Each structure stands twice: as C-alpha cells, then as structure tokens.
Amino acid sequence: MNKLARWGLTMPATIAVVLLLVIPVLLTIATTFGEAAGPFSTYTAFFKSGFRMAVLYRTLQVALITTGIALVVGFITAYVIAQMPGRLKSIMIVAAVFPLLTGVVVRSFAWLIILGKNGIINNVLMSVGLIGEPLSMLYTQGSVIVAMVYLFVPLMILTLVGVLEGIPRDLIEAAASLGARPIPTFLQVILPLAAPGLIVGAVLVFTGSFTSYATPQLLGGEKQMMMGTFLYQRAMVTFDWVGASTIAAIMVVITIGVVLIMSRMARRLNPMAV
C-alpha cells in the first residue's frame, strides 16, 4: 500500500519529465549521429568551420566575462547587505529581487534605450560636447556583456546573501580577537566558507549566460551571434535541423559538464560539510 502510494504520487511528474523532456532532448541529440557522411560528420563540420567555432568561442567568452564580473560585483554587494540591520537588509533584498522578477525582454530593452544612437549616454555626451557624433555602442560584445551582467547580478546577490549570513559570527570575531587583520580574515576565513556559494552562483550565471537567447538577439544582433541565437537561426530561419540539433547537443554537453564538475568541486570545498 505504502509502496503503491509513493510510486503513484511521483509517477505523473516522472512520466512528464521523461516523456516531454528527456526523450525529446535525447532524440534531438540522436539525430545528429544519423548522417549519411558518418556518425560524427556533423560535429567535424562544426569544429572545422571557422564561423561556427567563432560563435562557440564568443559565447564562452561572453559567459566567462559575465560570470567573472557578476561574481565580484555580487559578492561585494551581498557582503554589504549581509552586514545591514534587519529593516534595511529587507529593503535591499527587495531591491535586488525586483529586477530578477522583471522579464529578460524588458531588462534587455532598457539597455537599448541607454546605449542606442539616440540613447541616454549619447545624448548626455553630445550635450556636454564630449563627442560630435553619436557612438555606436549597440551590437557589440560590450553591449551584450553589460546587459548580461545586469541580468545576472541580482541572481548572484541572492545566492550569496544567504551564504554570507550563514557564516558564524564567532569565527570572524575569533579571527579578529586573535589579531587577524581584515584582509587576512577575509582571505582565510570568509572566502573559504563562502566558496561553495560562490561556485553555485558562478554555475548559475555561467549556464544562464551561455544559453541565453533574448539578450544576445536584442543587443548583439547578427554580428554578435551566440550559441542560443545561432540555434534559433539554424532551426527557424534556415531550417537546418541537423545543424540546429548539433548546436543543441554541444550546448547540453557543455552546460551539464560544467554543472557536474563544479558541483563536485563545491562539495569537496565545503569545510562545514557534515
């Protein structure tokens, strides 16, 4: 009876995930090995093509830079929030959550208004007389990275605030009472304890920016094609389904690989592990 209950209750969700996610994704990956030219021909074509590799490198580069900036900015901000007294802390957390609940399209669109030809930055610089011609800031790697950092900093802050609050006060007081200066205390006490949280945040931001679609589409355009926009273009514009499936397979392998490696690292780094 009990056995029936526990399998019966998990069954609908299990069937849904297997039928609608696992099987479709595996089938999509499977189609890439069915080419007449040989099972791996579509992958050799991808890795030999300068254009496709450039898209992959660009995506990795944007994701890594975004993750690095978000880590630093998010950590410092979360550190400040964690030290705040109750009321102020809640207000700051709300201010960080609000952008997170606003859609990706809306948040990317804001940067079109800021960075555009008639955008705020150009208007200000022109009116001050610093530039004579409007700068072209859109559709560059920089504009994509700025918008991505904007998307993911709140996520990093939220991930880290909880972690930093969980660091026992006594540890830091102990370090201070034993004469440790702030910087060594930070490096030898706070950072090691926060490391697992930093890894979780980094994984979330890396996979999120590596697989993003709307932001590179709006702020990067054709010139700054990334894996997500490339996949869409292959599937829905050129109808090259095998090519699109190949991009999908590469994306799945990279994101799941990163998650597995990093979560193992986070577990090993956890000094508080029970």
Distances (CA, A) of 173 to 115, 165, 190, 197: 46, 14, 12, 21
Q: Which tokens sit at 176?
A: 């201070």
- Check residue 92 for interaction with other proteins (CB under 8 A): yes
Q: Of these, 4, 12, 37, 273, which contacts other proteins (CB under 8 A)?
A: 12
What distance in Å separates the CA atoms of residue 1 and residue 171, rounded to the nearest whole number?
Answer: 49
Whole-angstrom Cα distance, residue 112 to residue 218?
8
Question: Residue 154 and residue 167: Cα distance in Å, rounded?
Answer: 20
CB nearer other proteins, residue 3 or residue 50? 3
Q: Taking the complex as a whole, how short is the minimal distance between the CB of residue 168 and other proteins, in angstroms? A: 9
- Which of residues 131, 174, 256, 261 is near other proteins by CB under 8 A? 256
Binding flag, residue 255, other proteins (CB under 8 A): yes
Q: Does 206 bind other proteins (CB under 8 A)?
A: no
Tell me: does residue 21 bind other proteins (CB under 8 A): yes
**How many chain residues interact with other proteins (CB under 8 A)?**
91
In the region spanning residues 213 to 232, those forming contacts with other proteins, defined by CB under 8 A, are 213-214, 217-218, 228, 231-232
The burial of 269, by beta-carbon neighbours within 10 Å (0-12 exposed, 13-18 middle, 19 or more buried), is given as middle
Question: Which residue, chain included where needed, has tokens 């102990």?
Answer: 174
Q: How far is the CB of 192 from other proteins (least distance, A)?
A: 15
Nearer to other proteins, 94 or 178 (CB): 94
Q: Per CB under 8 A, does 126 bind other proteins? A: no
Piece of the chain touching other proteins by CB under 8 A; list 15-23, 59-67, 127-135, 266-274: 15-23
Beta carbon of residue 140, minimum distance to other proteins (angstroms, whole number):
18
Residues 150, 197, 205, 220: which binds other proteins (CB under 8 A)?
A: 150
Beta carbon nearer to other proteins, 141 or 232:
232
Binding residue for other proteins, selected from 45, 112, 125, 180, defined by CB under 8 A: 112
Instruction: Work out whether 75 is an interface residue with other proteins (CB under 8 A).
Output: no
Closest listed residue to residue 77, CA positions, set 96, 97, 104, 99: 96
Answer yes or no whether residue 93 interacts with other proteins by CB under 8 A.
yes
Site for other proteins in 44-73 (CB under 8 A): 73
